[in-house]
């Protein structure tokens, strides 16, 4: 019986410790943005890594997501004789929901995992200790450029995803079902409001912060993670954890933001 | 048994002082009350078996971990009471050569050595270039500036690590197992570089090493860490002659004996 309660206590402490670390990590990173001189070059380097190098995968997934939406949307709308609303349905689905979420999930897979692994390996090989011993703040030097780049890139990548998705929907609608071009774009123009765009923008900003925050934190505290520890296996397990937690967090926050802004 | 350095003739100021330092990791007590003093301009070598907590002591001195009990003072300042900015002020007098050099994989040799200058000073590119090349020449690495850590041998990585540790002319330099993984020739080369740079720059050195008895030649004082405590800290000549049982056992084992007594060893070879 005692062992049972000990186990519960231990697990509770681990849980609080783990989420407490996430909070402390974010506060320290945000603080480092304001307490030291801002350097543009490292941020640009991260924008290139997180943003530019994700563009192709975003174009690709955006196009096919839009095409699937066009296909399924037409099938559904056709049942009600409302094919003319295809443009609105595709655009609203992408801008409010699928654009931010799928972009975030793609960037988590491509850049979030790399961020976690990179920082985790730096922790393992004492490079982060070396930075601290050189009196270089690792939060400012390593983490804050990534965080800024994530917050900057996600809305842009989402916008690319949305635009290319809308074009994908149009390609299917026009190419397969001979939907009228004017009604596709006019419907979209009439039914998409600033509130829809604002919701997508807020989501993508929050997701940009979330994905870098969780991935970087998991790597940074690799040595304290239950699944972490040292060695290649520790890095790989922690990276998997970071990807899962970031993805789940994106979906949870997606619901919360939708509920708040709808 | 005195655990504080028994060096009566040493009047130089105290740079680092550990008092009653205890450290627990989970259920394991690694340090059980360590008292140790490092004097300015001196070389303290910490020896002991693997897993006794030698590197943990260095990490306490660097402020990378906090003691569970006790105090760590550097230049008279209690590291536990310092905020991040104050801790960085203290650390700006440090240089560290890590066990695996801890070079930044994505930077070449030049950038690795230049990093502390770029991040911590406002020197011009020319000044930084002059200092970096000066340290790399001292280490015999002036032709390897464009190489990346993965392209270097173990000995070269250590020399780059030493160049980076010294580039800001620190007051205290820490060496964590500096010759691990190096052959005799490379480790001798590293020791010569250590000796030469210490003569030039006059820094205080704290070395954690297994390399006994060679390391005794460089030490002003040797401390044995065993059972989570410093069993004695004294000049190397006294250390080798010490009658303290744990020190005696350590010296005999590390001087090439397989057994603690001559009789046991004679039996073994018979």
Chain A residues with CB inside 8 Å of B105's CB? 121, 125, 127
Q: What per-residue confidence (pLDDT) applies to B7?
A: 46
* CB-based contact B104 A133, cutoff 8 Å: no
Is A141's Cβ below 8 Å from some Cβ in B?
yes
Q: What per-residue confidence (pLDDT) applies to B266?
A: 63
Residue A15 lies in a domain: no
Q: What per-residue confidence (pLDDT) applies to B8?
A: 41
Residues B191-237: tens digit of each pLDDT: 999 999 999 899 999 999 888 878 888 999 999 999 999 999 999 99
Q: Which domains does chain B have, with CATH numbers?
A: 1-93+209-270 (3.40.50.300)
Residue A21 lies in a domain: no
* CB-based contact B102 A137, cutoff 8 Å: no
Count of structural domains, chain A: 1
DSSP character string of chain A = -HHHHHHHHHHHHHHHHHHHHHHHHHHHHHHHHHHS---HHHHHHHIIIIIGGGHHHHHHHHHHHHHHHHHHHHHHHHHTT-GGGHHHHHHHIIIIIIHHHHHHHHHIIIIIHHHHHHHHHHHHTTHHHHHHHTT--HIIIIIHHHHHHHHHHHHHHHHHHHHHHHHHHHHHHHHHH---HHHHHHHHHHH--HHHHHHHHHHHHHHHHHHHHHHHHHHHTGGG-SS--SSHHHHHHHHHHHHHHHHHHHHHHHHHHHHHH-
Of B64, B91, B99, Cβ closest to residue A135: B91
Residues B8-40: tens digit of each pLDDT: 446 789 999 999 999 998 888 999 999 999 999
Chain A residues with CB inside 8 Å of B119's CB? 134, 136, 141
3-state secondary structure of B188: helix
**Mean pLDDT across A112-122:** 95
Residue A7 lies in a domain: no
Q: What per-residue confidence (pLDDT) applies to A225?
A: 73
**Mean pLDDT across A64-73:** 96
pLDDT > 70: what percent of chain A? 98
Nearest chain A alpha carbon to B89: A135
Q: What per-residue confidence (pLDDT) applies to A252?
A: 97
Which helix H or strand E contains B71, and what residues bound it?
strand B69-74
Is B103's Cβ below 8 Å from some Cβ in A?
yes
Of B62, B98, B120, Cβ closest to residue A136: B120
Is B62's Cβ below 8 Å from some Cβ in A?
yes
Contact A50, A209 (CB under 8 A): no
Contact A153, A43 (CB under 8 A): no
Q: What per-residue confidence (pLDDT) applies to A126?
A: 92
**Mean pLDDT across A91-118:** 96
How close does chain A come to B199, measured CA to CA in Å?
22
Q: What per-residue confidence (pLDDT) applies to B221?
A: 94
Chain A residues with CB inside 8 Å of B91's CB? 132-135
Residue A206 lies in a domain: yes
Residue A100 lies in a domain: yes
Residue B1, pLDDT > 50, answer no
**Mean pLDDT across A138-143:** 94
Q: What per-residue confidence (pLDDT) applies to B3?
A: 43
* CB-based contact A133 B62, cutoff 8 Å: yes
Residue B2, pLDDT > 50, answer no
* CB-based contact A126 B64, cutoff 8 Å: no
Residues A206-257: tens digit of each pLDDT: 999 999 999 999 999 988 876 656 678 889 999 999 999 999 999 999 999 9
Q: How many cross-chain Cβ pairs, A to B, lie less than 8 Å apart?
A: 52
Q: Which of residues 106-145 of B touch A (CB under 8 A)?
A: 115-116, 119-120
Chain A residues with CB inside 8 Å of B64's CB? 129, 132-133
Of A125, A133, A141, Cβ closest to residue B94: A133
Q: Which of residues 160-199 of B touch A (CB under 8 A)?
A: 174
Residue B261, pLDDT > 70, answer no
* CB-based contact A129 B64, cutoff 8 Å: yes
Which string of b and e fits B132-168 if b means at least 16 CB within 10 Å? bbebbebbebeebbeebbeebeebbbbbbbbbbbbbb
More confident residue, B270 or A60: A60
* CB-based contact B94 A127, cutoff 8 Å: no
Residue B143, pLDDT > 70, answer yes
Chain A residues with CB inside 8 Å of B102's CB? 125-127, 129-130
Residue A13 lies in a domain: no
**Which residues span the domain enclosing A171?**
26-32+39-261
Residue B255, pLDDT > 70, answer yes
ipTM topping 0.90: no
Residue A109, pLDDT > 90, answer yes
Residue A2 banded pLDDT, cuts 50, 70, 90: confident
Residue B110, pLDDT > 80, answer yes
Is B96's Cβ below 8 Å from some Cβ in A?
yes
Q: What per-residue confidence (pLDDT) applies to B36?
A: 95
User: In sequence order, which residues have a C-beta less than 8 Å from that of residue B240 and are 6 or more positions away?
Assistant: B213, B216, B251
Residues A238-252: tens digit of each pLDDT: 999 999 999 999 999
Residue A168 banded pLDDT, cuts 50, 70, 90: very high
* CB-based contact A132 B91, cutoff 8 Å: yes
* CB-based contact B105 A127, cutoff 8 Å: yes
* CB-based contact A134 B91, cutoff 8 Å: yes
Residue A225 lies in a domain: yes
* CB-based contact A132 B115, cutoff 8 Å: no
How close does chain A come to B165, measured CA to CA in Å?
8
Average pLDDT of chain B, as a whole number: 89
Is B89's Cβ below 8 Å from some Cβ in A?
yes
* CB-based contact A127 B102, cutoff 8 Å: yes
Of A125, A127, A133, Cβ closest to residue B91: A133
User: In sequence order, which residues have a C-beta less than 8 Å from that of residue A162 and are 6 or more positions away?
Assistant: A62, A91, A94, A95, A99, A200
* CB-based contact A125 B99, cutoff 8 Å: no
Residue A107 lies in a domain: yes
Residue B269, pLDDT > 60, answer no
* CB-based contact B64 A125, cutoff 8 Å: no
Length of chain B: 270
User: What φ, ψ does residue B28 adopt, rounded to 5°?
Assistant: -95, 125
Is B65's Cβ below 8 Å from some Cβ in A?
no
Residues B77-97: tens digit of each pLDDT: 999 999 988 999 999 999 999
Is B66's Cβ below 8 Å from some Cβ in A?
no
């Amino acid at each position: 019986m005692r062992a049972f309660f000990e186990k519960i206590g231990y697990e509770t402490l681990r849980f609080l410790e783990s989420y407490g670390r996430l909070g402390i990590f974010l506060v320290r990173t945000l603080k480092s943005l304001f307490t030291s001189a801002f350097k543009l070059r490292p941020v640009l380097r991260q924008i290139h890594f997180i943003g530019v190098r994700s563009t192709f995968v975003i174009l690709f997934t955006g196009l096919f997501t839009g095409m699937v939406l066009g296909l399924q949307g037409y099938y559904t709308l056709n049942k009600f004789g409302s094919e003319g609303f295809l443009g609105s349905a595709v655009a609203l689905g992408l801008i409010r929901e699928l654009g931010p979420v799928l972009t975030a999930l793609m960037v988590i897979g491509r850049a979030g995992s790399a961020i976690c692994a990179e920082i985790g390996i730096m922790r393992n090989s004492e490079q982060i200790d070396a930075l601290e011993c050189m009196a270089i703040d690792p939060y400012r030097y390593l983490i804050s450029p990534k965080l800024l780049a994530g917050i900057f890139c996600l809305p842009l990548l989402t916008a690319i995803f949305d635009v290319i998705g809308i074009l994908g929907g149009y390609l299917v609608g026009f190419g397969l079902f001979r939907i009228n071009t004017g009604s596709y774009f006019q419907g979209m123009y009439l039914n998409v409001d600033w509130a829809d765009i604002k919701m997508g923008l807020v989501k993508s900003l929050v997701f940009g912060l979330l994905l870098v925050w969780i991935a970087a934190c998991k790597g940074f505290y690799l040595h304290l993670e239950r699944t972490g520890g040292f060695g290649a296996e520790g890095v790989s397990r922690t990276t998997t954890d970071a990807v899962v937690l970031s993805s789940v967090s994106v979906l949870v926050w997606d619901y919360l933001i939708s509920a708040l802004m709808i | 048994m005195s655990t504080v350095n028994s060096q009566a003739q040493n009047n130089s100021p105290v740079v680092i002082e550990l008092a009653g330092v205890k450290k627990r990791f989970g259920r394991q007590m690694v340090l059980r009350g360590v008292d140790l003093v490092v004097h300015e301009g001196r070389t303290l070598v910490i020896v002991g078996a693997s897993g006794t907590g030698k590197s943990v002591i260095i990490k306490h001195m660097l402020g990378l971990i906090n003691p569970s009990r006790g105090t760590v003072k550097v230049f008279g300042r209690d590291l536990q009471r310092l905020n991040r900015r104050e801790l960085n002020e203290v650390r700006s007098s440090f240089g560290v050569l890590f066990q695996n050099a801890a070079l930044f994989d994505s930077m070449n040799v030049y950038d690795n050595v230049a990093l502390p200058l770029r991040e911590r000073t406002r020197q011009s590119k020319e000044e930084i270039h002059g200092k970096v090349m000066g340290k790399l020449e001292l280490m015999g690495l002036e032709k390897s500036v464009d190489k990346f850590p993965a392209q270097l041998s173990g000995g070269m990585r250590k020399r780059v690590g030493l160049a980076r540790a010294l580039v800001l002319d620190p007051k205290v330099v820490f060496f964590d197992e500096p010759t691990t993984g190096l052959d005799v020739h490379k480790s001798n080369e590293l020791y010569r570089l250590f000796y030469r740079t210490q003569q030039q720059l006059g820094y205080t050195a704290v070395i954690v090493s297994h390399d006994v008895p060679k390391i005794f030649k460089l030490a002003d004082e040797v401390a044995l860490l065993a059972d989570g405590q410093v069993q004695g800290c004294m000049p190397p000549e006294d250390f080798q002659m010490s009658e303290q049982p744990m020190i005696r056992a350590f010296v005999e084992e590390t001087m090439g004996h397989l057994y603690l007594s001559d009789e046991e060893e004679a039996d073994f070879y018979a």
